[in-house]
Amino acid sequence: MWSYGNRTRFCAISAPKSAGGAGLYPAEPGARSQIERWMDWQLAALNGPYLGVFKESKKKEEERAASFAGDAKELAAQLEILEKGTAGRPVIAGANFSIADICLGPIVDRCLSFPVTLAGASLVSGPGETRLRPERLPEVEVLSRACGRKVR
């Protein structure tokens, strides 16, 4: 399989209903489209600026590429889209924890930890504070594994 999203979809579809697969990736088309919308958005819109900031933020400021400031600005704009598009929801794609949270949780966590100011992004209400930060989600154990660290 080509991507993390594809593997996640496959695992959720293949998991027995009793193991929670149906809840993570529901068969109902409306609910599933909400999940896939955010997973596709991550690949199409968030990953570009995320990768630019990720690679360059490890360097000293004077060694960063000229594109760094633009990538940071675009990252903030994309996180704002996420915040506005998920407003009023406890998780990313509706009322229930799903594979969208599993896929986006680690990326959002990293984005909010970058040494950049995410000007204009209301996603961040204070230093590292957001409703979409993994430690604020009820399924912390799953996201702890996905983020590679304990998030609570």
Question: pLDDT tens digits for 100-140?
Answer: 988 888 888 888 888 887 755 555 444 444 555 555 555 55
When pLDDT is cut at 50, 70 and 90, the band that residue 61 belongs to is very high
The residue behind tokens 């990326």 is: 107
- Of the chain, the end-to-end C-alpha distance in Å amounts to 31
Helix (H, G, I), strand (E, B) or coil at 128: coil
- 10: closest CA among 41, 38, 39? 39
Q: Going by C-beta distance under 8 Å and a sequence separation of 6 or more, which residues neighbour residue 145?
A: none
Which CATH class, in words, describes the domain spanning 28-147? mainly alpha
Q: Report pTM.
A: 0.78
| Domain ranges, ordered by start, for the chain | 28-147
CB 57 within 8 A of CB 116: yes
- Cα 68 to chain centroid, rounded: 20
CB 90 within 8 A of CB 48: no
